[in-house]
Amino acid sequence: MTGVVVSGLTVVTPGGAPIVEDIDFSVERGCILGIVGESGSGKTTVGVALLGYARAGARISGGSVRIGGEELVGRDEKNLRGLRGRLVSYISQDPGTALNPSIRVGALVRELVEIHRPDLDADAAVESILERVQLPSTKAFLRRYPHQLSGGQQQRLAIAMALVCEPPLVVLDEPTTGLDVVTQAHILLEVRRLCDELDVAMVYVSHDLAVVAEISDRIAVMYAGRIVEEGDATRLVQAPRHPYTRGLAASVPDHVDPRVLVGIPGIAVGVGDRSTGCAFAPRCDLVAEECTREMPVLEVAAGDERVRCIRWRETPAVHIAPRLLHVESVVRSPLLTVEGLSAGFRSRDGEVVAARDISFGVSPAECVALVGESGSGKTTIARCVVGLHVSSAGRILLDDVALPAQARARSGEARRRIQIVFQNPYDSLNPRVDVESALAWAARQLRGIGREEARTEVIEMLEKVRLPAVSAHRYPGELSGGERQRVAIARALIAHPDLLVCDEVTSALDVSVQAAVLDLLGELKTSLGLAMLFITHDLGVVASVADRVLVLEQGQICEDGPVGRLLSQPTHAYTQRLVAAAPRLPEASVSVEA
């Protein structure tokens, strides 16, 4: 039985420029369709359009979305509100902002049943769905507020709320972005199990091709508002037919086989800038003159698999060059030294120790990665290094000179030399300041350069992080999450730091942009001697960028060593669990060059 049938779906701007157009697909109940693509490809627009919704300023101008036999397109908002939750539900990327902080856990779930499924026993439905997502249904848990739950528990609660009314379709929009690999693995297993047990259709929107390949039955690849390839998930990543899909596969890092990531050249075309021909033509190695004349049709390649490329039969296999991991033979003096660092925070239950007796060093041109589950102390250590969290014990030294615990007590030069990029791009930028002003201010204040020189450097830096020059005049609210993160990275780099602290900086980036950013950081590490303290849950990224790895468990270092040895032969049981949980593409998807 079909959960959703989409045909000819088109969403446009107020001026009529298409955001997504001519979208066709169907998803059977009990199946998962993954939608992947770069920021701006339209994947989230398609996801929310399945609820009959378009973001502010956009509108659904044509097409059909039929769920459980009912048409959503064309209905008024009041009518649609009655269908959302009963016919289709939505799980957002950030459950912390999606859950009402003033309503208790039990009431959040119960309210949905009472509104959309009055035929069900509300108490029994709440208890059943919480058990299915492996959350307790005790009275004490039901009385908690969302902020009293961990990130993984919040995401499980969001999944429970989406499924409690047993809708035919569930849309998941980046539901594991920012989660550590162990929590992510648990969530993915639960999503797959619930899809099978409850016989619902799911659409899983993500930029992470490895995660999508792991959970989905089929994958639709989007570029510039259109589907460019669709087919069986395993086949699509093992033998991509569209050059764009091939580029995505070549950009995916692998923790088992460290590789040189190859980003897709050029910049994704924006809404309103799309040509009459193939939108991917300016970035394609197979481009021919006829590609620029008219948009290729989405033709059948084999069976029920489709591809939008006139030269898809000539798309070569994905070839990956292994990353050469050198053993440093020269002992270098560390740029940053952390000695016996301990830090914590206060809660209702007293003092909570987040990091205990942490010691390590980072040398120039070296990248040290901190990995571990949520709550292991990674971010607390990073904030102590940049002076945003006061440690309770230990010292932090820059070039053997002890730094004050608070950033405001440090000299301007010390603040310039240590820059941080935060995980959440939505909180990193002032919404009232455009991109050019934000970057220029950092360059002028921290380096003392002139206005015109700063303006020139802003454009150069935007190009380095794969953003078009027109982005300089946009505000954060006009950018996608991935674009905002690239702006935050550019703002840190324009200060010309000696040490860059990266706190989950690639979690919101597409794999192709991630590859370009990691390549840029690697180039700066080599050419300028940039030192990096890299915090991430993505072990594939660790394998691609780090020289050494520190594994944190409950605020303490449980294992450390060179990246190649630690990821291939972990000795601590906790590290072994992290490595086993990390997603990767099927091995046959790429051929590794000797």
Q: What is the pLDDT of residues 37-90, one digit of tens each?
A: 988 889 999 999 999 999 888 999 999 999 988 999 989 888 898 888 889 999
CA gap 170, 121 in Å, rounded: 22
Q: What is the mean pLDDT of residues 178-207?
A: 87
The answer to whether 164 touches 110, Cβ cutoff 8 Å, is no
| Domain final position from 314, 349, 373 | 314
pLDDT of residue 370: 96
Q: Which residues on adjacent β-strands are paired with residue 169?
A: 88, 201
Residue carrying structure tokens 């693509």: 37
The answer to whether 178 touches 504, Cβ cutoff 8 Å, is yes
**Residue 388: inside a domain, yes or no?**
yes
| DSSP per residue, 446-513 | HH---HHHHHHHHHHHHHHTT--GGGGG--GGGS-HHHHHHHHHHHHHTT--SEEEEESTTTTS-HHH
| Domain final position from 314, 347, 382 | 314
**Residue 588: inside a domain, yes or no?**
no
3-state secondary structure of 24: strand
Distances (CA, A) of 139 to 104, 231, 393, 401, 451: 11, 45, 40, 53, 60
Lowest mean pLDDT among 228-237, 251-260, 367-376, 506-515: 506-515
The answer to whether 410 touches 452, Cβ cutoff 8 Å, is no
The model's pLDDT over 139-165, given as tens digits with 9 standing for 90+, comes to 989 999 988 887 778 888 988 899 898
CA gap 163, 120 in Å, rounded: 13
CA gap 268, 385 in Å, rounded: 35
Q: Is there a single domain that holds both residue 262 and residue 343?
A: no
Structure tokens at 293: 């004349």
CA gap 228, 222 in Å, rounded: 6
Residue 329 has pLDDT above 50, yes or no: no
CA gap 95, 99 in Å, rounded: 6
Looking at residue 201, which CATH number applies to its domain?
A: 3.40.50.300
pLDDT of residue 346: 76
pLDDT of residue 570: 95
Rg (CA), the chain: 24
Q: 496 in the Ramachandran plot: left (φ > 0), alpha (ψ -120 to 50) or beta? A: left
**Residue 561: inside a domain, yes or no?**
yes
Average pLDDT, the chain: 89
**Residue 322: inside a domain, yes or no?**
no
Q: What is the mean pLDDT of residues 551-580?
A: 94
Q: Is there a single domain that holds both residue 235 and residue 292?
A: yes
**Residue 307: inside a domain, yes or no?**
yes
Q: Is there a single domain that holds both residue 36 and residue 112?
A: no
Residue 400 pLDDT level (bands cut at 50, 70, 90):
very high
Q: Is there a single domain that holds both residue 526 and residue 554?
A: yes
The answer to whether 503 touches 452, Cβ cutoff 8 Å, is no
Contacts of 143 (CB under 8 A, 6+ apart): 104, 105, 106
β pairing state of 393-398 and 401-402: antiparallel
Residue 319 pLDDT level (bands cut at 50, 70, 90):
confident
Lowest mean pLDDT among 89-98, 229-238, 412-421, 445-454: 89-98
Q: Is there a single domain that holds both residue 187 and residue 124?
A: no
pLDDT of residue 505: 85
Q: Is there a single domain that holds both residue 466 and residue 535?
A: yes
The answer to whether 35 touches 222, Cβ cutoff 8 Å, is yes
| Domain final position from 149, 165, 181 | 165
Q: Is there a single domain that holds both residue 242 and residue 350?
A: no
Q: Three-class SS string for 110-155?
A: HHHHHHHCCCCCHHHHHHHHHHHCCCCCCHHHHCCCHHHCCHHHHH
CA gap 37, 10 in Å, rounded: 17
Q: Is there a single domain that holds both residue 64 and residue 141?
A: no
Q: Is there a single domain that holds both residue 559 and residue 547?
A: yes
The dihedral of CA 202, 208, 209, 211: what is its sign? negative
The model's pLDDT over 1-50, given as tens digits with 9 standing for 90+, comes to 678 999 999 999 988 899 999 999 999 999 999 999 988 889 999 999 99
Q: What domain range is 270 assigned to?
A: 2-87+167-314
**Residue 327: inside a domain, yes or no?**
no
pLDDT of residue 587: 62
Lowest mean pLDDT among 25-34, 384-393, 417-426, 559-568: 417-426
**Residue 329: inside a domain, yes or no?**
no
Q: Is there a single domain that holds both residue 105 and residue 172?
A: no
Q: In what order do the strands lie in the sheet with 393-398?
A: 350-362, 336-347, 393-398, 401-402
Residue 592 has pLDDT above 80, yes or no: no
Residue 330 pLDDT level (bands cut at 50, 70, 90):
very low
3-state secondary structure of 108: helix
Residue 94 has pLDDT above 80, yes or no: no
DSSP H helices in 14-76: 43-49
β pairing state of 531-535 and 226-232: unpaired
Residue 581 half-sphere exposure toward CB, CA atoms < 13 A = 21
Residue 115 has pLDDT above 80, yes or no: yes
User: Which secondary-structure segment (H or E) carries 415?
Assistant: helix 412-417
Q: Is there a single domain that holds both residue 308 and residue 427?
A: no
3-state secondary structure of 79: helix
Q: What are phi and psi of 320, to 5 degrees?
A: -120, 130
pLDDT of residue 348: 65
**Residue 326: inside a domain, yes or no?**
no
Total Cβ atoms within 10 A of residue 337:
19
Q: What is the mean pLDDT of residues 460-482?
A: 87
Residue 93 pLDDT level (bands cut at 50, 70, 90):
confident
Residue 373 pLDDT level (bands cut at 50, 70, 90):
confident
pLDDT of residue 589: 47
3-state secondary structure of 277: coil
pLDDT of residue 113: 92
The answer to whether 421 touches 492, Cβ cutoff 8 Å, is yes
The domain total for the chain is 3
Which amino acid, 211?
Answer: V
345 against 545, higher pLDDT: 545
Q: What is the mean pLDDT of residues 446-470?
A: 91
The model's pLDDT over 244-297, given as tens digits with 9 standing for 90+, comes to 999 999 888 888 888 888 888 877 887 877 878 999 999 999 999 999 999 999
CA gap 193, 196 in Å, rounded: 5
User: Which secondary-structure segment (H or E) carries 394?
Assistant: strand 393-398
Q: Is there a single domain that holds both residue 293 and residue 346?
A: no
